[in-house]
Structure 1
Amino acid sequence: IIDVMGFANEKLEEGLWMSLNGGLLEVSNKNTDLNSQEPEFDPSSIKTGGYGIIDVAWRNKNEVWAVGGGGTMHVSKDGGKTFKFDNSADDIPGNLYSVKFFKDTGFVLGSDGVLLRYTGMA
């Protein structure tokens, strides 16, 4: 069952992403026929521990962030094919609902007014 869908990199021509029950995530490629009754999606390698993915955002063509239930964040360095857990939000109770990038600065919105900022620096 599809939980959430969105446009890859916020652009129709770059394809779609969708999250499924159980924390699964799939991404279409740029050449997918979006007029098709059933567009093709490729599963991403992501281990969410069953927490659902609520939003996905592209920082650039390679770096993709996924946020979701239980304050989980995951990052991909290969355009969304594989994701690794990011522990930056480990101490935040609740869900992370939205991730957006404006140039290289990113923001994550979560439960109870949580606002995280990412500048790309460790």
Structure 2
Amino acid sequence: MLSTVISGLTLAVVTGLAGYLGRQLHDIRKEYSAVISAQRSQLKASIVRSYEEAVARGYITAMELDTLNKRADNYALLHGDTYIETIRAHANTLDIHGSIPEYTHPENHNG
């Protein structure tokens, strides 16, 4: 009899805990989805802004293009739309000014 009561209580606790954890997981997924959506929107706006500035002046700098391409890669990883791929493709056909300086770690810098 006592074991039946304990089993029933254990089942009730486990069922309640599973329900609670399920709701928590659902809330976490919703928040995660919102964060991903916000990040995707920020990346898209940033890419479009850089692209429009470059088109307006008639060229893109090597650093801007490198950054735009890296942002577009991240945007694709976040399952962004193909609009950014179209922008990236066109940005890579613009006249490129300048170059990307080689990185030298401060400890290796002579001077």
Q: Which structure: greater helix fraction?
A: 2
Q: Which structure: greater strand fraction?
A: 1
Higher relative contact order (CA 8 A, sep 6+): 2
Which TM-score tier does this pair reach, normalised by the shorter chain?
Answer: under 0.3
Which of these two proteins has the greater Rg computed from alpha carbons?
Answer: 2
TM-score by length of 2: 0.19
TM-score by length of 1: 0.18
